[in-house]
């Protein structure tokens, strides 16, 4: 897959230490991500494919590539479905 996830322009977010806080003003929803989710959020900046994000997670969190790829796909799809991420 060559699509690159990126932050939805309507979302405000900031990473505090290693946990991200996301605010969706259109739905008045606030969400906090765990450290792995926060790292995926940081990496999903429109410059990387899912595979490229997974490679970074393999390196940083010492997980195998299949597990990382599956986690990234599931997590990104979930955030896209909630309009927190979008495809570039």
Name the site residues for another protein (rule: CB under 8 A): 9-14, 16-17, 19-21, 23, 25, 28, 30, 32
The dihedral built from the CA positions of residue 14, 68, 58 and 7, taken in this order, carries a sign that is negative
Taking the complex as a whole, the smallest distance from the CB of residue 73 to another protein amounts, in Å, to 24
* CA nearest neighbour of 72 among 30, 24, 39, 31: 39
Backbone angles phi, psi at 24, to 5 degrees: -105, 100
Query: Between 41 and 75, whose beta carbon lies closer to another protein?
Result: 41
Taking the complex as a whole, the smallest distance from the CB of residue 10 to another protein amounts, in Å, to 5
Taking the complex as a whole, the smallest distance from the CB of residue 20 to another protein amounts, in Å, to 7
């Amino acid at each position: 897959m060559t699509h690159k996830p990126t932050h939805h322009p309507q979302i405000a977010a900031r990473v505090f230490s290693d946990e991200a806080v996301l605010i969706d003003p259109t739905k008045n929803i606030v969400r906090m991500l765990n450290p792995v989710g926060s790292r995926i959020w940081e990496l999903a900046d429109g410059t990387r494919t899912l595979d490229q994000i997974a490679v970074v997670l393999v390196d940083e969190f010492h997980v195998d590539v299949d597990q990382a790829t599956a986690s990234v796909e599931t997590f990104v799809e979930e955030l896209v479905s909630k309009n927190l991420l979008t495809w570039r």
